[in-house]
Structure 1
Amino acid sequence: MQVFDVDFALNLLPLMFRYLKVTLTMSVVALCLALILAVLIALIVQARIVILYPLTRVGVSFFRGTPLIAQLFFLYFGLVQLFPVLKGMDAFTAAVIGLSLNASAYMSETLRGAIMSVDKGQMEACLSVGMTYLQAMRRVILPQAVRVAIPALSNNFVDIIKGSALAFTLGVTELMATAQMEGAASYRFLEAFTAVIIMYWLIALALGRIQGKLEQKMNEAY
């Protein structure tokens, strides 16, 4: 029976910290892109813009109803056969795009629910004083909706970070890939995956702290 090698697991941590930057960069970029897309989708759905509304609903349904790993493979290995111009896309870019599209589908529903939680009378009041729909959203509705959406959006960010572990299947060397390679090289899979699980857990705990601070800051205004 193989004994858990504590020294091996501890020695992996500096190596994983080196590739932590790749995981966090991928996740933060994906989060920013996903938020932009999610806001656009939520606004389109709320306004029920002709043509764009049914397209966005189909897109949200697709990305929420299919596995992330299948989406990543479809994007990186499948679409290149239809669009040869995508041959130059590297695995990191494909992973960021895939994570962004997947997360935006969930975030858009989160934002849509938060927008609906704001009293309709506020939109009517904004329109009555001459604001456009977009001005009312930007100045009055969205600031209140964001406060409601912060807990769910924080969970979405955690999901992005956990989903980034699938990027190693495309060839991106990040936290999970490091654990996989080190475990395979030494046959110490238990130690390698214990170390990587602890790394992801620590990231989630740190994000939980940030979420708490954000909620506290937003609640000070109410």
Structure 2
Amino acid sequence: MANDFDLMLIANVLPILLQYLPVTLEILVCSILFGMLLGIVVAIPKLLQIPILKQIVTVYISFIRGTPILIQLFLVFYGIPAILKLVHIDVTRMDAIYFVMITYTFSNAAAFAEIFRAAILTIDKGQMEAALSVGLNRAQAFFRIILPQALRVAFPNMSNTMISSLKDTSLAFSIGVMDMVGRGETLIASTTRALEIYLALSIVYYFIVMLLEKVLKRNERYLNRYMKEIATS
């Protein structure tokens, strides 16, 4: 029967889908790295209680948390060209993957900002005072004393954000990016075998997530061990 479940189709399409894995990983890596950098910038006004800027970043974080990533994706995809058009800059021909990276960078930045802020606030303020008393300036004290401890506290939540971001990349196809899901959609259109294709996609994402989790857990154990060695030295 034409509608019989085709197990072999899953095996056949897996290599095809994996050819587009680099696109997914490119989106993930770029959005995580830029998200971390922007997250640090966003966290500063709330940490230092800077007037006006604190209110702006609070609204930004609240908006990101309160709206679906898919809506954010379309807002960026249609909004940036519309805004730039006002100053006579045409980006309508820009590759859609860059709009995806921008969206996920903004989304990850909001998450990382709150993670970094919460982690830094857990560090005893007396450590900064002690570092200053032995001759370190504030920048040296922050990067050598406070930040390493904050990273240890923040790492589990950072890992969760990275894994969530990996799964969110599956929405990139909605604005025309040919990633694994985008290729899967074209395969569904040509084979009319949606169940098998989505099962193949789920297998790929599952194993990537499991691998990423193992890598992050190993790095977390290394970071904890490294911090203990510093504390006892």
Same fold (TM over 0.5): yes
Q: Are residue 30 (structure 1) and residue 18 (structure 2) matched?
A: no
Matched, 1:103 2:83: no
Please name the residue that 1:62 is paired with. Answer: 63
Partner of 1:43: 44
Are 2:195 and 1:194 equivalent residues in the alignment? no
Q: Which moved more, 1:88-97 or 1:77-86?
A: 77-86
Question: In the alignment, which residue of structure 1 is the partner of 2:126?
Answer: 121
TM-score, scaled relative to structure 2: 0.90
Instruction: Note the aligned Cα RMSD (angstroms).
Output: 1.6
State whether residues 10 and 196 of structure 2, in contact with CA within 8 Å, keep that contact through their aligned partners in structure 1: yes
**Cα distance between partner residues in 1 of 2:212 and 2:198:** 21
Aligned pairs for 1:62-211 (under 5 A) are 62-84=63-85, 85=89, 86-211=91-216
Mark the structure with the bigger radius of gyration.
2
Write the deviation string for residues 52-96 of structure 1: whole angstroms up to 9, x where unpaired: 222211111111111111111111113322321233432000000
Match of 1:216 in 2: 221
Amino acid paired to 1:22: V
The residue type paired with residue 181 of structure 2 is M
Runs of 5+ in structure 1 lacking a partner?
none
Give 1:5 shift: 0.8
Q: Secondary structure at the match of 1:64?
A: helix
8 A contact 2:64–2:110 mirrored in 1: yes
Change (3 A) 1:133 1:61: farther
Residues in 1 aligned to 2:184 and 2:47: alpha-carbon distance in whole angstroms? 43
Deviation, structure 1 residue 157: 0.8
